[in-house]
Amino acid sequence: MPATKVHVTTTINGEPVEFLAEPRQSLLEVLRDVVQLTGSKEGCNDGNCGACTVNMDGRIVDSCLVLGVEAEGADIQTVEGIASADGLHPIQQAFLENAALQCGICTPGFLVSSKALLEKEPNPSEERIRMWLAGNLCRCTGYDKIVKAVMAAAKEMAS
C-alpha cells in the first residue's frame, strides 16, 4: 500500500513552497524528485559525503538525513539560491577563478557549507576552513584549491 502523503508548507530559497511528501522520503529526495531542485546531490545517502548539504534555518544539514516532512515551516537554502539577480555570489566566483572544482558533483555542498561559514566568520583561518569543510568530501581536488577559494572569497567579501 502506498503511504499517505503529508502536506508540507515551507520556504525554499526565499520562495514559499508547498509539496506532498511520503513520511519516509528524505528532504533530499523531496528536493530532487518532488520540487525538482536537482542541484543538491546524492553521494552516499547516509550523511557522510556532504554533497546534499543545504542550509536549514541557519544551520547546514545533510538533506539526506532530514525527512521531507521536517521542512514544515522551515527556511531552506539550496545551491540554487546562492546566486542573485546581480549574478554569481563571491563564493561561486571564487570557486571558478581558483579552479576549486573538477567534476563538480561535490561543489553544491561545498558552496552551501562555505557560504554559511563566511556568514558566521568573515575571516576564517586555513585551519578553521579545513575543520568547517571536513563534512564535505571531494575526491578530485585534494581540497587545496577549495580552501584557497574560500580564503579568496573571504577577502573579496571583506573589500
Q: Does 78 bind other proteins (CB under 8 A)?
A: yes
The owner of cell 571531494 is 138
Tell me the C-alpha distance between 100 and 110, whole Å: 10
- Residue 107 binds other proteins, judged by CB under 8 A: yes
Q: Tell whether residue 152 is a contact of other proteins (CB under 8 A).
A: no
Indicate the helix (H) or strand (E) that contains 137.
none
Q: By three-state DSSP, how is residue 26 classified?
A: strand
Site string for other proteins, 8-27 (x = CB under 8 A): --------------x-x---
Considering beta carbons, is residue 18 or 46 the nearer one to other proteins? 46
User: What residues from 125 to 144 belong to the interface with other proteins (CB under 8 A)?
Assistant: 125-127, 129-131, 133-144
Alpha-carbon span 58 to 94, nearest angstrom: 22
CA–CA gap between residue 141 and residue 131 (Å, rounded): 17
Q: Which three cell numbers stand for residue 125?
A: 583561518
Instruction: Give me the 27-56 binding string for other proteins, x by CB under 8 A, dash otherwise.
Output: -----x---xxxxxxxxxxx-xx-x-----
CA-based nearest residue to 61, from 49, 69, 53: 53
Measured distance CA(24)–CA(5) in Å, rounded: 10
Work out how close the CB of 6 gets to other proteins at its nearest, in angstroms, rounded to a whole number.
15
**Cβ proximity to other proteins, 69 vs 79, nearer residue:** 79
Contacting residues toward other proteins, per CB under 8 A = 22, 24, 32, 36-46, 48-49, 51, 78-80, 82-83, 88, 92, 95-99, 101-108, 111, 125-127, 129-131, 133-148
